[in-house]
A and B are shown apart, each in its own frame.
Chain A
Amino acid sequence: MTVTGTESSLVDDLLDGKHRALARVITKIENRSPGYRDIVSALHTHTGTADVIGITGSPGAGKSTLVDKLAKSYRDRDETVGVIAVDPSSPYTGGAVLGDRIRMASNVGDMDVFFRSMSARGTLGGLSTATADAVKALDAFGKDKVIIETVGAGQNEVDIVKTADTVCVLVQPGSGDDVQMLKAGILEIGDVFVVNKADMDGAERTVAELEEMIHMRENPAAGLDTGHHGPVDEEEMAEVALDEEDEEAWDARVVETVATDATGVDELIDTLGDHADWLHETGRIDERARTRYAEEIRQLVRADTAGLLEDVIESRGGIEALADRVLARETDPYTVADELVEPVRECVRERDGDEDD
């Protein structure tokens, strides 16, 4: 894609390190303003250098405070930081109060921590695309670390953290018994688990439960007596298990922090660094990126074809008229869908035919 006019100068300004341009680009991405696609396309070649860290967890786990302290520590190490904090929006009015900025007290006045609040804007699936594009903007701007912070409550959030290289799940002590840990699907995506507020009662137990859960995740069959006649003694069994294990696999880690006074933050940074090193050494970083780009292409193609099909529906008198015909038993949903997609199918067939000739 080619960029022209305002878009082109916005891209230049962003690459020049102008904060205003970065802010404006993210707004355009959020609004899906005309030309935003060209901008993101133009930025793509400049991305790929930032470490992207996703932080999620239940409300009140202390995510914002921890992100604040993380950003501070990265700054102390002379690294620049971009933060995107995602908050829910009202499904009724679209309005939102984006409150995480209040807790960014350690980085006040430091423009090299670029903090941006984003609201979910009631979109399904669109948010993760917008977040991923905003990450690209921060990456192209030259941020060393990009942190995505989101409340972990459902599928949407899982999608967002998928845009990160390293996923960090925040848990607070006493946030549930082991059944909660089992049913919370979000625990399956963590590379690093942080027990925040580790000075609270029950922190030890939460750490132990997490360790146990991680252990079970790594070897789902461990400890299960399947009744097979396998290796006889325990030592032999352990050896077999070791051989089968992928030596290069990442063992999820549990880190304890007290975000309010930055306890454990350095250890967390080291752990995040270890994970980043592992990603690069094993080549998993490209693997993850490939999966991400594949998914991104799929999403874009789906959105674009959905848009095309909306036009087809309009040209056939609109979705309600079609539904009325189904209601009157004149036709059925499958037939309607078939008819609607037919022109697209024809075009594809025609084109493929041309190419074969």
Chain B
Amino acid sequence: MSTQERETGRQIRCLIAKVGLDGHDRGAHVISRAFRDAGFEVIYSGLHRAPDEIVQAAVQEDVDVLGISILSGAHNTLVPKIVDGLKEYDAFEDTLILVGGIIPDDDREDLLEMGVGAVFGPGTPMEETIEFVRENVHDRE
């Protein structure tokens, strides 16, 4: 991308969020860096965030993509709270939500139904995730 394009074009903004109690954020760091190298603007939330905090950050930063990293197994309680929070601020419609981490197959369907764009398990190639973001980021006027 040339400087010219960058000045006039739209930049994909992402929030990489660690929600809940799990204290392992190596994956979140790796994805943040990969997204940065892909030319995205990445905001990393830091560890141990509550759903409210993630909603606050996603709304204020007006991100196109919200990547939630969860390894603790608490996705069934945490993700719905975030989805509801985004809806409350009219931010749900144009935010692409991704969930990464350890998610049992049975739960995947529920998350996707809830409005999550994709669930990426361990070992997903980085290119696949980046490509998915590029293709599925919501159009804005």
| A-side interface mostly | mixed
| Residues on the A chain within 8 Å of B127, using CB | none
| Residues on the A chain within 8 Å of B52, using CB | 108-109
| Residues on the B chain within 8 Å of A31, using CB | 9-11
Q: Is the CB of A20 within 8 A of B45?
A: no
Q: Is the CB of A6 within 8 A of B43?
A: no
State whether the Cβ of A115 lies closer than 8 Å to any Cβ in chain B.
yes
Q: Is the CB of A101 within 8 A of B41?
A: no
Q: Is the CB of B38 within 8 A of A97?
A: no
Q: Please, which residue of chain A has its CB at the minimum distance from the CB of B36? A: A95
Shortest beta-carbon distance from B111 to chain A in Å: 24
Q: Mark A94-105, 1 if CB is under 8 A from B, else 0.
A: 111111011000
* Contacting residue for A19 out of B35, B53, B59, B141, CB 8 A: B59
State whether the Cβ of B40 lies closer than 8 Å to any Cβ in chain A.
yes
Question: A63 to B5, alpha carbons, bound, how many Å?
Answer: 31
| Residues on the A chain within 8 Å of B41, using CB | 89, 95-96, 98, 117, 119
Q: Is the CB of B43 within 8 A of A101?
A: yes
Stretch at the interface among A21-29, A49-57, A152-160: A21-29
Q: Mark A1-42, 1 if CB is under 8 A from B, else 0.
A: 000001000000000000110011011001111000000000
A-B contact count (CB 8 A): 96
**Number of A residues contacting the other chain (C-beta, 8 Å)?**
34
Q: Please, which residue of chain A has its CB at the minimum distance from the CB of B1? A: A94
Q: Mark B47-59, 1 if CB is under 8 A from A, else 0.
A: 0001011001101
State whether the Cβ of B77 lies closer than 8 Å to any Cβ in chain A.
no
| Residues on the B chain within 8 Å of A32, using CB | 7-8
State whether the Cβ of A278 lies closer than 8 Å to any Cβ in chain B.
no
Shortest beta-carbon distance from A185 to chain B in Å: 26
| Residues on the A chain within 8 Å of B13, using CB | 27
Shortest beta-carbon distance from B82 to chain A in Å: 14
| Residues on the A chain within 8 Å of B57, using CB | 101, 115
| Residues on the A chain within 8 Å of B10, using CB | 31, 33
| Residues on the A chain within 8 Å of B40, using CB | 95
Q: How large is the interface on B (under 10, 10 to 19, 20 to 34, 35 or more residues)?
A: 35 or more
Q: Is the CB of A20 within 8 A of B59?
A: yes
Q: Please, which residue of chain A has its CB at the minimum distance from the CB of B89? A: A20
Q: Is the CB of A19 within 8 A of B60?
A: yes
Given contacts A19-B89, A20-B89, A109-B56, contact A95 B50 (CB under 8 A): no
Q: Mark A101-126, 1 if CB is under 8 A from B, else 0.
A: 11000001101001111010111001
Shortest beta-carbon distance from B70 to chain A in Å: 18
Given contacts A20-B90, A97-B44, A126-B7, contact A108 B39 (CB under 8 A): no
Shortest beta-carbon distance from B59 to chain A in Å: 6
Question: A98 to B62, alpha carbons, bound, how many Å?
Answer: 13
State whether the Cβ of A315 lies closer than 8 Å to any Cβ in chain B.
no
Question: A23 to B10, alpha carbons, bound, how many Å?
Answer: 15
Q: List 10 A-B contacts (CB under 8 A).
A: A27-B62, A90-B37, A95-B40, A95-B42, A96-B36, A97-B43, A98-B41, A109-B50, A121-B6, A123-B7
Known pairs A19-B59, A95-B39. 7 more at Cβ < 8 A?
A: A31-B11, A95-B37, A98-B41, A102-B44, A108-B52, A122-B3, A123-B3
**B residues whose Cβ falls under 8 Å from a Cβ of A:** 1, 3, 6-11, 13, 32-33, 35-46, 50, 52-53, 56-57, 59-62, 89-91, 141
Q: Which 7 A-B pairs have the closest CB atoms?
A: A102-B46, A95-B36, A23-B62, A93-B39, A27-B62, A95-B39, A94-B39
